[in-house]
Structure 1
Amino acid sequence: MGVKMDLQTVLLLPVHLLVWLYSLLTFLPWYFITGAQEKNVLAKRNKAKSTSGQPEGPYRSIDRFDSLAQMDFAGKDTLDKLFNHAAERYGPNHCLGTRQVLCEENEPQPSGKVFKKLILGDYKWITYEEMDVIVSHFGSGLAALGQQPKSTIAIFCETRAEWMITAQSCFRRNFPLVTFYGTLGEEAVAYGLNECGVTHVVTSVELLETKLKNVLPQIPNLKHIIYVENKTVSTAGYPEGIQLHSMEAVQKLGAKPEHLNLEIVKPKPADLAVIMYTSGSTGRPKGVMIVHSNLIAGMTGQCERIPGLGPKDTYIAYLPLAHVLEMTAEISCVTYGCRIGYSSPQTLSDQSTKIKRGSKGDSSVLKPTLMAAVPEIMDRINKNVMCKVQEMSFVQRTLFRLAYNYKLDQIKKGYDAPLCNALFKKVRGLLGGNVRMMLSGGAPLSSATQRFMNICFCCPVGQGYGLTETCGAGTITEVADYSTGRVGAPLICCEIKLRDWAEGGYTRKDHPNPRGEILIGGPNVTMGYYRKDGSLNDDFYVDESGQRWFCTGDVGEVHSDGCLQIVDRKKDLVKLQAGEYVSLGKVESALKNCALIDNICAYANSDQNYVISFVVPNQKKLTTMADQKGIKGTWEEICQHPVMEMEVLREIKVVATSSKLQRFEIPVKVGLSPEPWTPETGLVTDAFKLKRKELKNHYLHDIERMYGGK
């Protein structure tokens, strides 16, 4: 074995020598041509500082230190004005695109399940001019059906062009839009519709028939249901008094002269634009009230961190539009003249679950330049690519690792490796090959996954931090910042300060950097929760200067350059029987780096002295390990086998030790889940955040088993 390794080392010497010579000959020309020196200066500069001079803040961006930004375009202080500006400026340009479904096929699986596979055509586009007309007609049609200004209207629909058309129609006519995730449960949707007193709802046929129809008797105020597809839906089984309309029929109604000329009551900056129901990780969904000026301020801050945003950009839209990250990203793209191509997690790439083998996924056809993603999706891409690398020949695998490690070393110094980029062309092609910037939000992104995306997709990955309550705006890392594990400096629309959390051991006097609960203040902070009593709005307050603040419940650390790092969450902290505090989020973040794990939930009872965990294992890796151990059976049987639990636990301990977790933080027992956790299962939110209460109820039997319960 030693002789073989020595021979391999000798064979690789010419490759190492070639890389060294290339670096020597090209570094100086590349350094000056690409402006690497200026980028390094930007990366290392102070990005924010305390306005009070105190460690708790408030911290503001150096780029907008004297006052917070409220709008990007002078006089465009409501969302309808932003869209009118875009329609006038970018009229003939492509705006929204949707792929045509050419055919569907049922593909039987070895397990007996049948998967639906799609063969899709090219993107079909509508221009800004065409969208302007559609928005006008649909808004008039809604008014003709009795929708009143300042009265709420709901959208319960998947991410698609019709969602954005509906939103712009409502913004134009001052109809506050109530949004629900497509994966939200029936009872939660009924609760939200009743709380807002909605009379009109826009939905898809699938959600109408599988979810909404079941709870219609519980929603007495609802009068009109508009479904987005152009088809006929049977009215059988619907309560009396509810009318069904297709979106096209409503547009035709609105195009009639007598309806098109109905008076438009234009919104004001302080008018309600959206009530966004979160699919929160605990309890009933809460409707966050967002006025026009909130959204415009938040988007102003976000767009400032995306250099060169404009008509040359193509954005791929596949995250839930009922999530503030996706909604603000798409409205921003429309404002700046980008084109938006619609997709879904099931059709995103050539390897996606609904794409027929041999046909093209949406990224390959669209070739986007901009993309937003949640860490869960980036982690999946990372693990899938690395699994493919393991299947390569020794020479291919060695060359890949050599290029990967060389570029990793360069990126850590703030440089690039153009020669290596050619070797990652195939990986980059998974997302179309043209992505120039990715934005990650919704949860912390691991340093390993961020570096993987930097290296293999040859683009910066901006980590963002924000909440629905702050219009998704808080911080975003600058493109020039090549550090990992941080979420950047405050955006130009807001400021951040820290509040001591003594119970968790976080204070502004901590060394080397101040730490504490993160408070976000600025014009992007929303108006609170809809129709809630005062006790549930305690997380919002107004200071002596009239500025609104939101107390996030997240714990942050502010670095010396003004950048924020998320280090904990108050609700994730559990005190063990012996008095040690365990941050469940910290444990999960560290253990997600384990190759055997696709997802993990750490759990601890305060009356116990150890942590346990539930794991969604990587099917390919665990099956291979089972074969090596001589364990046969179905996937469910493999996951339930005690030997496999012990093997996963052994791997967990190795990763936990390398991640420097304390002994009491390392899970002592593990349960393996054969089913992945998706928003459809109700165990994670649409942003793939863990729903701890639902997970606890789902695995109650396992908890009792692992804690030795009766």
Structure 2
Amino acid sequence: MLPHRIASASHIILRMKLKEDLNPMLLFVFHLMVWIYTAITFLPSYLLSWVSTPGEGFYGSEEERAKRVKAYSVLGYPEGPYRAVSATKRLVTSLHPGVDTLDKMFQYAAMRFPHRECVGTRMVISEEDERQSNGKVFKKVILGEYHWLTYKEALTAATQLGSGLSYLGQRPKNNIAIFCETRAEWLITALACFTYNYPVVTLYSTLGGPAIAHGLNEAQVTHIITSRELLETRLKAIFAQVPKLQHIIVVDSAPTTWPGYPSGVSIHNMAAVQKLGARHENATPERQQPLPSDIAVIMYTSGSTGNPKGVMISHSNIIASITGMAERIPNLCEEDTYIGYLPLAHVLELSAELVCISHGCRIGYSSPQTLSDQSTKIKKGSKGDTNVLQPTLMAAVPEIMDRIYKNVMTKVEEMSPIQRTLFILAYNYKLEQLAKGYSTPLCDRLVFRKVRSLLGGRTRVLLSGGAPLSAATQRFMNVCFCCPVGQGYGLTETCGAGTICELWDYSTGRVGGPLVCCEIKLRDWVEGEYRSTDKPRPRGEIVIGGPNITMGYYKSEAKNQEDFFVDENGQRWFCTGDIGEFHKDGCLRIIDRKKDLVKLQAGEYVSPGKVEAVMKNCALVDNICIYANSDETYVIGFVVPNQKQLLALAGQYGVRGSWEELCNSQAMEELVLKVITEAALIAQLERFEIPRKIRLSPDPWTPETGLVTDAFKLKRKELKTHYKEDIERMYGGK
């Protein structure tokens, strides 16, 4: 389907503004210029497109690519199981023969790429407090260049740490926890634990005290690796609740003595533990190598409802998963640079970084607060991490890409009419060329270079996961960042693996075909009226099977029997609870979730996630949560508005007040509701799906507020509690 036929509401609005800004004669002149430009640059652009993507070839028009088969039903039945065309004989389980555990994978990479840069960190040159106009104080930093450890040095650091932990009493197959922000020391620690067969318990750095205590106690952790900040702000308060904890290893340069901490807990610096391990007399006689079936990670989910669950992931699970992911990234090699900033306690980031390690790529570390020149902690005039690192590979959750998209489009709106027209014409021109299967290298350099520089200017692959990515944002990334977006689908229970779009497939709204490490089938869900016999496409609950399916939930046998099963061939399967449909080319589309569907009083089914994905395309909306009560006839919503857009709307209608006063204003609620209703109708939502009443939130939802997870997924239970009074008000006190 051509891009202009699936143009988002924002693109339609841009086209309308184009006509408002220019008179017909001037518009004709610009169209004539574009036609001349196209005619002149066709041949060089065509030749350059071949040169700029060596080995990838020409994949044809978008319509042709969408028809090309990516997966097939093994048995020929509409319910599947579906398997990648490149895995016709068997599912793939490993990258290299004999490399079946993570310690072997790391040693193999260190042997092949001993002197290549492995992990890098920027040093803090200076930091200062900056007072904002509203009185708030933000800490700003100036960072230096990246300092790197080679693969050989990283292997030495990991081996010494593992040996030092052994000296401190850590034993093989005894759980050890990492409770730390994403940084080089996190990965070094994990690689040390994989080498010495210490199962790693991962905990999000933003978890609250009770959730942290739950994970540590359930896994019976005696040793934990953390940062100084998290030790002082989170761990210190729960020592009394985790009696088994004996040793805390702090990754930063920190004091050698720790007054005010319980005497029964020993606190060590990571560097000191590595020195212990480096001493010959303290070296372990012979490390116990893990088996492929041994637990590598117990990954505690972010816990969108209740206590977090620990998912047991074996070495063979991760090896299979990263093998499947790597197959979808063309020309992946040691020349690539990856930027790591998402939580390493999340399966998406951990898998992505291990894919990079397995191929000798270098990983430069960042954070959401220092990612770009405009990030909140970067001092004005200094460089953000992408500018310095210039990554070629990057993973992102849709929330972050949506923000980039809205920020750029807001700046486009602020351009002069001629500048805006040039941008929009170039944008639409490139959309048409992409649909035909052509790249536009000259246009990229002349028009989109500045936008592309926001991510360093060299990004060649963007991986998206964690939530559905809107068509508008995906198209924006394709056009302005001049690279494909590999939208994927996977869960912690499937070790992050499931599907990833082929990077030459620019179709939107789909998550690609199964990876070579797994297969997918659909199971009828009669109650929701989804069946594999549905026309024109088979639909049902997504069930994923293969060597990447994890060992189940830690100490939760009842939940294991509910969500996992083994078939007659001994293959393990996971029931995702998500509803999908398979297209003719073998690509999967996520269309619903069993638990998310709410049946209104009149009998209509509403999918909050679907409505939220559409609403986020509206420039006024930074975040939104749709809520529906089955005893009511309509849905309501909680909205985090975009500050710039809301202030502009208030000014347009003469509504005055502070930011908090505007968000608490009934008049502004009605104005915002009108705007998002129009956007929803343009996007063809049904009337019953559109919220009839909304509540504006003056404060953004961050993991620190406890209203979203570290992956920025909504915590619906917490949001419902937080907005309890507003729900009663919007539903008339019922």
- TM-score class normalised by the smaller sequence: over 0.9
Letter matched to residue 597 of structure 2: L
Question: Alignment partner of 2:23: what SS?
Answer: helix
> What is the aligned counterpart of 2:35 among 1, 14, 17?
17
Structure 1, unaligned runs of 5 or more: none
Letter matched to residue 640 of structure 2: V
Q: 1:307 to 1:385 in 2, by over 3 A?
A: same
Deviation (angstroms), 1:479: 1.3
Deviation (angstroms), 1:10: 4.3
Aligned match of 2:414:
391
Deviation (angstroms), 1:96: 0.5
Aligned match of 1:643:
667
CA contact (8 A) 1:465 1:475 kept: yes
Q: How many residues align?
A: 710
CA contact (8 A) 1:154 1:202 kept: yes
Deviation (angstroms), 1:350: 0.2
Q: CA offsets, 1:50-97, max 9 Å, x none?
A: 111110000000100121011011000000000011111111111000
Aligned match of 2:328:
305
Aligned match of 2:478:
454
* Partner Cα separation in structure 2 for residue 556 and residue 261 of structure 1: 50
Q: 1:32 to 1:296 in 2, by over 3 A?
A: closer
Aligned match of 1:169:
192
For the pair 1:443 / 2:467, whether they are aligned, the reply is: yes
* Partner Cα separation in structure 2 for residue 456 and residue 681 of structure 1: 32
Map 1:472-491 → 2, pairs under 5 A: 472-491=496-515
* Partner Cα separation in structure 1 for residue 690 and residue 193 of structure 2: 50
Q: CA offsets, 1:598-631, max 9 Å, x none?
A: 1110000011110000001010010111112222
CA contact (8 A) 2:58 2:437 kept: no
For the pair 1:222 / 2:242, whether they are aligned, the reply is: no
Aligned match of 1:610:
634
* Partner Cα separation in structure 2 for residue 393 and residue 11 of structure 1: 17
Deviation (angstroms), 1:38: 4.2
Question: Alignment partner of 1:472: what SS?
Answer: coil
Q: CA offsets, 1:558-608, max 9 Å, x none?
A: 000000001111111001111111111111111111111011100000111
> What is the aligned counterpart of 1:340 among 363, 366, 382?
363
Q: 1:96 to 1:518 in 2, by over 3 A?
A: same
Aligned match of 1:652:
676
* Partner Cα separation in structure 2 for residue 125 and residue 155 of structure 1: 22
> What is the aligned counterpart of 1:681 among 664, 680, 705?
705
* Partner Cα separation in structure 1 for residue 399 and residue 650 of structure 2: 25
For the pair 1:425 / 2:443, whether they are aligned, the reply is: no
CA contact (8 A) 1:69 1:300 kept: yes
* Partner Cα separation in structure 1 for residue 48 and residue 366 of structure 2: 37
Letter matched to residue 193 of structure 2: C
Q: CA offsets, 1:541-563, max 9 Å, x none?
A: 10111000000011101000000
Map 1:326-365 → 2, pairs under 5 A: 326-365=349-388
CA contact (8 A) 1:36 1:415 kept: no
Q: 1:28 to 1:628 in 2, by over 3 A?
A: closer
CA contact (8 A) 2:592 2:610 kept: yes
Letter matched to residue 701 of structure 2: W
Percent identity between the two aligned chains = 63
Deviation (angstroms), 1:478: 0.6
Letter matched to residue 56 of structure 1: E
Deviation (angstroms), 1:307: 0.8
Q: 1:31 to 1:144 in 2, by over 3 A?
A: closer
Given the two structures, how large is their TM-score scaled by the length of structure 1?
0.98
Deviation (angstroms), 1:24: 5.0
Map 1:68-217 → 2, pairs under 5 A: 68-217=91-240
* Partner Cα separation in structure 1 for residue 453 and residue 664 of structure 2: 38
> What is the aligned counterpart of 2:393 among 370, 375, 381?
370
Aligned match of 2:530:
506
* Partner Cα separation in structure 2 for residue 98 and residue 682 of structure 1: 29
Aligned match of 1:596:
620
CA contact (8 A) 1:683 1:694 kept: yes
Deviation (angstroms), 1:680: 1.1
Letter matched to residue 685 of structure 1: T
> What is the aligned counterpart of 1:248 among 256, 263, 271?
271
Deviation (angstroms), 1:240: 2.9
Q: 1:396 to 1:435 in 2, by over 3 A?
A: same
* Partner Cα separation in structure 1 for residue 418 and residue 49 of structure 2: 31
CA contact (8 A) 2:336 2:393 kept: yes
Deviation (angstroms), 1:239: 2.3
Q: CA offsets, 1:346-396, max 9 Å, x none?
A: 000000000000000000000000000000000000000011111111111
Aligned match of 1:47:
70
Q: CA offsets, 1:482-505, max 9 Å, x none?
A: 211110000000000001112222
Moved more, 522-531 or 234-243: 234-243
Deviation (angstroms), 1:23: 5.2
Report 1 or 2 for greater relative contact order, CA contacts < 8 Å, sequence distance ≥ 6. 2
Map 1:213-292 → 2, pairs under 5 A: 213-232=236-255, 234-292=257-315
Deviation (angstroms), 1:44: 3.6
Given the two structures, how large is their TM-score scaled by the length of structure 2?
0.95
Q: CA offsets, 1:159-181, max 9 Å, x none?
A: 00000000000000000000001
CA contact (8 A) 1:217 1:239 kept: no
Aligned match of 2:11:
none
Deviation (angstroms), 1:281: 1.5
RMSD, matched Cα: 1.6
CA contact (8 A) 2:162 2:192 kept: yes
